[in-house]
Amino acid sequence: MTTTLGTASAAPGEIDTGRLEVGETRDGSPFGLPVAVINGERPGKTLYMQAASDGDELNGIGVIQRVVPKLDPAELAGTILITGIVNYHAFQIAEHRNPIDDTKMNRAYPGNDTGTSSERIAAATYEAATRADLILDLHQGSTSRMIDEVRVRCGKRHRLHRDCLELAKVFGCGHILDQKGPDGQLARAAPDEGIPTVDPELGGAVGWDEASIQKGVDGVFNVLTHYGFLDGSVDIEAQTRAHGFEQYGAPSGGLVSFRKDLGDRIRSGETLFEVTTPFGEPKAEVTADSDGILWRTRRLPQVATGEYICSVATDIDDY
């Protein structure tokens, strides 16, 4: 059976790309999101993937750019639907939020097809996503420095919690954040439709990072193999799981020097970072409140009082 997404249409054994039209720009020109359909030769499940719902999070686009040329529909069972760039307007100016309505796109799901710019884009991509059996919403830590992780956002009491955890474990970045997400996230909304959904956060970068992109490529192929889209098997490894964060800000202005690296295990009371003057004079030393893992840090060293410095993931176990 032929499968269509926007103007992309593929019969079994075919790949096609096209555009999913969702509105007009300020000069009245129509615009569409880049989409692809990979329709396997054999019947099977449907996977939906999307990237750049936050316009400066580009590693997911790098994953899709590398995955699609490696897919042969003749070897595929089932269908893959892809939206390559979700936040069209933010991507054009390399910003995080949609500049048309100053909205973070991944707070707009399930969307509204007569609403704001972000709500309309969310509605169009949500309709595509909820045609699937599994959803991968590819993100990164914006331009912060962050470890590679997969986020399970449905919450522990959700009926699909275990299915989402399995999908995160199969993707296999090494780390999982198992914490209920804010309203409006695709990974919060889609499980309510009965679809296991995860949010891989592929590091953090200005532009994109090849190591994180490769982890994402490997993760996608892990999912395709484990869930029967491709022949073969996957060695599923235990993941380090965190259930929450403690965030740290600057107690004074100056320049930050970290005493721990991303991914390091942290003990309560250990020094996380110091703040100094431009002349190296010490101004403040900040220690960890709890045991955990250094998960995310700011990229630039200069800080004002109260400015975000880093996040330590807490309540750690293996899954």
At 247, which CATH number?
2.40.50.100
Strand partners, 276: 255, 282
pLDDT digits (tens, 9 = 90+) for 32-87: 999 999 999 999 999 999 999 999 999 999 999 999 999 999 999 999 999 999 99
- Name the burial class of residue 150, with classes exposed (0-12), middle (13-18) and buried (19+) by CB atoms within 10 angstroms of its CB: buried
pLDDT greater than 90 at residue 207: no
Inside any domain, residue 144: yes
Inside any domain, residue 309: yes
Q: In this structure, are 199 and 55 located in the same domain?
A: yes
Q: In this structure, are 176 and 61 located in the same domain?
A: yes
Q: In this structure, are 132 and 186 located in the same domain?
A: yes
Q: In this structure, are 139 and 278 located in the same domain?
A: no
pLDDT digits (tens, 9 = 90+) for 154-204: 999 999 999 999 999 999 999 999 999 999 999 999 999 999 999 999 999
Q: In this structure, are 147 and 255 located in the same domain?
A: no
pLDDT digits (tens, 9 = 90+) for 255-290: 999 999 999 999 999 999 999 999 999 999 999 999
Report pTM.
0.97
Distances (CA, A) of 99 to 22, 29, 88, 140, 207: 16, 17, 10, 19, 19
- Give residue for tokens 């709890």: 290
Inside any domain, residue 75: yes
pLDDT greater than 90 at residue 246: yes
Say if CB 49 and CB 64 are below 8 A apart. yes
Q: In this structure, are 84 and 153 located in the same domain?
A: yes
Q: Which of 227, 257, 286 is the last residue of a domain?
A: 227
Q: In this structure, are 277 and 218 located in the same domain?
A: no
Amino acid at 308: Y
Q: In this structure, are 193 and 273 located in the same domain?
A: no
Domain count, the chain: 2
Say if CB 283 and CB 306 are below 8 A apart. no
Q: Which residues of 217-246 are buried (b: 16+ CB within 10 A; e: fewer)?
A: bebbbbbbebbebbeeebeeeebbbbeebb
Q: In this structure, are 155 and 266 located in the same domain?
A: no
At 187, which CATH number?
3.40.630.10
Domain of 84, in residue numbers: 3-227
Q: In this structure, are 213 and 300 located in the same domain?
A: no
Inside any domain, residue 13: yes
Q: Report pLDDT for 222.
A: 98
